[in-house]
């Protein structure tokens, strides 16, 4: 990624709620690079039926028209609770605020969808990232896809 314009990078990153097949393919490409290739998550675990459910919302972050990050949000168990999943930023684009922008856009949409609580099964190493964004750990560390995770939640305000 071009780091020369770091100061204004946040203004140049666009996060979109996915509405086209091409944008969805961009999400898949980011997840493939981050989860399947970098973290060795089996592809059959990474892509599941929930990706195709109408209620699942996908988000993609672009810099200079190139996809840099992705995330998804779906309704979870009871009314008004949403689950945040598959949050990923390409390795070379991390540490520049793209993950936070992605989460901000996802949360703005979650409020519009009337979710009052968001849940995340966070990879343990990423827990400080979510904590900075207002998520609180809940319960014990557990293994998923052979990676340590902890559940986290955030109450959304209007």
**67: contact with ligand COA by CB under 6 A:** no
Of 54 and 95, the one with the shorter C-beta distance to ligand COA is 95
Rank residues 95 and 139 by Cβ distance to ligand COA and give the closer one.
95
Inter-residue contact 100 to 93 (CB < 8 Å): no
Task: Give the DSSP H/E element, type plus range, for residue 92.
Answer: none
* Closest approach of ligand COA to the CB of residue 130, in Å: 8
Integer angstrom CA distances of residue 19 from 38, 68, 85: 27, 17, 18
99 lies in the binding site for ligand COA (CB under 6 A): yes
Work out whether 40 is an interface residue with ligand COA (CB under 6 A).
Answer: no
Query: Measured between alpha carbons, how far is 26 from 56 in angstroms, rounded to an integer?
Result: 16
- Which one among 17, 24, 74, 94 touches ligand COA, defined by CB under 6 A? 94
Structure tokens at 70: 């992705």
Binding-site member from 10, 64, 132, 155 for ligand COA (CB under 6 A): 132
Candidate ranges 5-13, 46-54, 85-93, 106-114; the one touching ligand COA (CB under 6 A) = 85-93
Pair 61, 102: CB distance under 8 Å: yes
User: Least distance from C-beta 19 to ligand COA, angstroms?
Assistant: 22
Binding status of residue 87 toward ligand COA by CB under 6 A: yes
Distance (Å, whole) CA 27 – CA 61: 9
Distance CA 44, CA 54 (A): 20
CB 31 within 8 A of CB 45: no
**Binding residues for ligand COA, per CB under 6 A?**
34, 87-89, 94-100, 122-123, 125-126, 128-129, 132
């Amino acid at each position: 990624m071009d780091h020369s314009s770091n100061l204004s990078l946040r203004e140049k990153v666009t996060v979109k709620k996915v509405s086209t097949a091409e944008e969805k393919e961009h999400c898949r490409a980011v997840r493939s690079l981050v989860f399947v290739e970098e973290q060795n998550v089996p592809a059959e675990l990474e892509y599941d039926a929930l990706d195709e459910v109408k209620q699942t919302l996908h988000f993609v972050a672009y810099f200079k028209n190139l996809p840099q990050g992705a995330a998804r949000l779906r309704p979870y168990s009871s009314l008004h609770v949403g689950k945040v999943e598959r949050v990923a930023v390409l390795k070379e684009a991390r540490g520049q605020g793209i993950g936070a922008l992605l989460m901000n856009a996802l949360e703005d949409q979650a409020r519009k969808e009337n979710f009052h609580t968001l849940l995340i099964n966070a990879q343990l190493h990423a827990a400080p990232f979510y904590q900075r964004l207002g998520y609180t750990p809940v319960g014990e560390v557990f293994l998923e896809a052979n990676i340590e995770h902890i559940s986290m939640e955030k109450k959304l305000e209007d």
